[in-house]
Amino acid sequence: MTDTTTAIPADAPLPRGPRWWRRFRLLPRPLRISTYVAVVVVLAIVAGLLTGVVLVRRSFPQTTGEVELPGLTGTAEVVRDDHGIPQIYADTTEDLMRAQGYVHAQERFYEMDVRRHATAGRLSEMFGAKTLETDAYVRTMGWRRVAEAEVPLLDPDTRVALDAYAQGVNAYLEDRSPSEIALEYTLLNAGGLGYVPEPWTAVDSLAWLKAMAWDLRGNMADEIDRSLTAAAVGRERTEQLWPAAPRGTRPVVRRGAVVDGVFEQDARTIGTRLPTRPAPFGPVTDELRSLAGTTRRMPSWLGRGDGIGSNGWVVSGRHTDTGKPILADDPHLGVSLPGVWMQVGLHCRTVGAACPYDVAGSSFSGVPGVIVGHNADIAWGLTNLESDTTDLYVERIAGDQWRHGDELKPLKVREETIEVADGDDVTITVRSTDHGPLVSDVADSIAEVAGNADKSRGRTTGGTTGRTTKGDEYAVALSWTALTPAPSADAILALDRAKDWTSFRAAAADLAAPAQNLVYADRAGHIGYQATGRVPIRKSGNDGRYPAAGWRPDNDWTGEYVPYDGLPSVLDPGEGFVVTANQRVVGPDYTYDLGDDFDRGYRSERIRELLGTQLAHGGTVSMDDVLATQLDDRNPLAPVLVPHLLRQRLDPTYDDDGQRLLRDWDHTQPAEGAQSAAAAYFNAVWRDLLRLTFDDELTGDQRADGGQRWIATVTDLLQRPDDPWWDDVTTDRVETRDDILRTALLEARDDLTSTLSPDPAEWTWGRLHRLELTGSTLGRADLAPVGRLLDRGGWDVGGGASAVDATGWDARRGFEVTTAPSMRMVVSLADLDDSRWVNLTGVSGHAFHPHYTDQTDLMVDGETLPWAFSEDAVRDAGEDVLRLVPAD
């Protein structure tokens, strides 16, 4: 081998240059080459890091100094605290909303842009064929069309606010490249997309409200699941899986009745319920299964309607230590990054006709105003009403007509063309009956259509072939109150301006969808509750629990809704508090049918129990008491199931560490600590129990997810040890309750041994029950591994399904958190500056920004932030001030 090393004589003159360079030149050549390479690599890494820092930071918002904002008539100020929460001050409504639009765009425009594409059925323009099915579904429902039809229905003041807000958003976009707006645009355009955001419009804001209505739409998933379950096991056994609320569960409003069309909280009359008839789900089982799959494949951040709930309650001043009401609210939604809410304050420097706002709370980025919070006079919170606002109709289609009674009516038909990034356009045909769009036309194979667009010339006709009767095709139509235009946006700004109970109720009357429970308090000392939303009045043949025969006119909606004045409400109830947690709203004697798929009341009863404990013997409720109640993590099933588990006699050779843990368990579910191991074991047993009991007969999404309905179901089954549900039909023997319980105990022990540790002392609930936050559209699997840079995760979380601290998880898939409190707020009407709030993520939608997830640790640890409201408190808490000034 030839030695290529070049030696430099000791007496050779040193090379010219700096000392480090001269010493470097004296090194042997191979070593110099390696050093060259190392230096180049290091320089490349440094350059890459510097480039990355520049790319990441260039979209961060300016929070100090002065910025010209076209359209302003005066100066607006944005005061941000140490968590970046903005409080905006201006002199006119237009300037205030224009500034809010600018600030929302600074912090969250990418989120706003993605959501408006989602609500218009245009995601595929940004993300390609993988979102085609979602686009087809949204186009079929026509969310954007409905939003466009709502614009002329709005109050002129609302329209002014929407337009000013849009001007503020567009002022931020003007003269900014996509990479200066959000890092995600840099990642998208790195693949050659060449995407440039369009200007914002008022319709974009209205369409976003349709997405929230979809997320809180009511019982559509139950309607589908009931039908598919009945097709598998029969209707009688199906009804066992949708049990009524436990005996003694109290509704929100405990007395009152409708008198001459008006709900009177002290009246007592008897109403009626609608009769029912068998549902024709049999012929459309395949179509319903396809529809169920489509709805559950919609992006979680857009809303799937599963596992959604909220807690809201208010306590009268006669029961509080301040002598004034305390109001609490924590909506439970699917986890997302950024979170659905953005905290904000909107303050007119002089509150009057020209500028009537002095309000703070949680807003939707993309929508002007505050959705939930308080102003200078009142506070309000929201929980989902859980009323039945959707119905599925099985339609009989004959060519381009559909049957209704003795008539053949023409189908309404339109074509929708979906643009696909890096692919051919796809045109779908949307068909509708008088009941609504044929959602069964959105085929499971829609993504394949895009992939084979050249073969089909980019076109697929609606009407997946179903079973036929006398030549008719079956299809499924969706009736949903949110598909009828209504001025719901008026309610948002009217609530922000409300001054008392009368103006509050008048504002809530415009909230058509989603249907909500509103809890109320004011500084005069009043508390109250009002149900809102359009709830259809059905004809005698349809109870809304199963898909109805669309060809029978007696299954139709009447075209009328439960009158607003007839919806349950109460002012200053005798017991001194109101609790809403998605339970039944009113008793069985109520005149109208609001539906049957309410929460079974585990959270509401626990809140009432804790309030009762605090008020016992003349006690009072404090802010700290309310904050502690929001964190209550007691498992509602444990008192029922644990005694059965402890009675099981296991094989003597089995190590019964699990049962020993349960004997000392207090039924709480902390992420860590002395009780956490038992919580982990119990939840593992619960998951295995559900699988062993139901998976032999139920498949797919009809399997048990472990939510509140399944808690009620198993509670009932535990009283019937020989019920057929306990039997595993795949074996040769007949299993009973105790067989399943013993097996679940053993398998859960094995599960935790392999997942966590052989030593139960090392088990914790938090290690199983983790919170992972995924960046919308580009996280985890998308653009991996770059996309994963947008994700945040690894929080060990306590709580659980149907606990007051409602961190839901899906037993069909694992223990990871799927739904959680999206924010928490507690309002002191005695001193608004003493109020508290916290968000699931943070104000910022920019990955790597300090305020991206800076509130998540607080939320997970059960902490909250001070909620400054008065100008003195806001400015004392202010870290940054940005002045927005009129452009020349």
Question: What's the pLDDT at 275?
Answer: 40
Find where tokens 């929508």 sit: 367
- Please give the pLDDT value at position 775: 74
CA nearest to 366, candidates 77, 78, 109: 109
| Percent helix, percent strand, percent coil in the chain, to nearest 5 | 40, 20, 40
Residue 178's CB: how many other CB atoms inside 10 A? 21
Alpha carbons 781 and 188: distance in angstroms, whole number: 14
Name the amino acid, one letter, at 21.
W
Phi then psi dihedrals of residue 695, to 5 deg: -70, -15
Q: Which residues of 362-389 are buried (b: 16+ CB within 10 A; e: fewer)?
A: bbbbbbbbbbbbbbebbbbbbbbbbbbb
- What confidence score (pLDDT) does residue 248 get? 82
The pLDDT value given to residue 873: 98
State how far the Cα of 232 lies from the Cα of 533, in Å rounded to an integer. 34
pLDDT of residue 272: 41
Check: CB of residue 831 under 8 Å from CB of residue 785.
no
Q: What phi and psi values does residue 588 have, to the nearest 5 degrees?
A: -70, -15
Beta bridge partners of 183: none
Query: Which burial class, exposed, middle or buried, applies to 200 when counting CB atoms under 10 A from its CB (0-12, 13-18, 19+)?
Result: buried
Q: Are 641 and 679 in contact (CB under 8 A)?
A: no
The residue to which tokens 């459309």 are assigned: 284
Contacts of 42 (CB under 8 A, 6+ apart): none
- Sign, CA dihedral 508-516-304-146, equals negative
pLDDT at 700: 87
| Residue 382 to residue 373: CA distance in whole angstroms | 9
Radius of gyration of the chain (CA): 30
Amino acid at residue number 788: R
Domain boundaries, the chain: 1-57
Give me the half-sphere count of Cα atoms (radius 13 Å) on the Cβ side of residue 395: 35
Question: What's the pLDDT score for residue 254?
Answer: 76
Task: Give the pLDDT score at 226.
Answer: 87
d(CA 462, CA 465): 9
Mean pLDDT by 10 residues, the chain (888 residues): 44 46 52 54 52 74 96 97 98 98 97 94 91 91 95 96 98 94 88 87 93 76 84 90 85 76 65 46 61 58 57 97 97 91 98 96 97 98 92 92 95 95 90 94 46 31 45 87 94 98 97 94 98 92 86 92 94 96 91 90 96 91 97 97 95 78 96 96 98 95 92 96 96 96 96 94 96 71 60 92 95 94 97 98 94 96 97 97 94
The residues with which 346 forms a beta bridge, in sequence order, are 88, 359
pLDDT at 273: 36
Supply the pLDDT for residue 617. 82
Residue the block writes with tokens 């609504």 = 436
pTM (predicted TM-score): 0.88
CA–centroid distance for 82 within its chain: 27
Residue-wise pLDDT for 773-808, tens only, equals 987 665 444 545 555 678 888 899 999 999 999 999
Tokens of 39: 């230096």
Q: Is the dihedral of CA 110, 114, 115, 117 positive or negative?
A: positive
Tokens of 207: 């369409």
Q: What is the pLDDT of residue 282?
A: 58
Cα dist. 827→317, 512, 624, 832, 867 in Å?
A: 12, 26, 11, 7, 9
CA distance 839 to 193: 33
Distance CA 79, CA 857 (A): 23
- DSSP for 81-135, written as a single string: -TT--EEEEESSHHHHHHHHHHHHHHHHHHHHHHHHHHHTT-THHHHGGGGHHHH
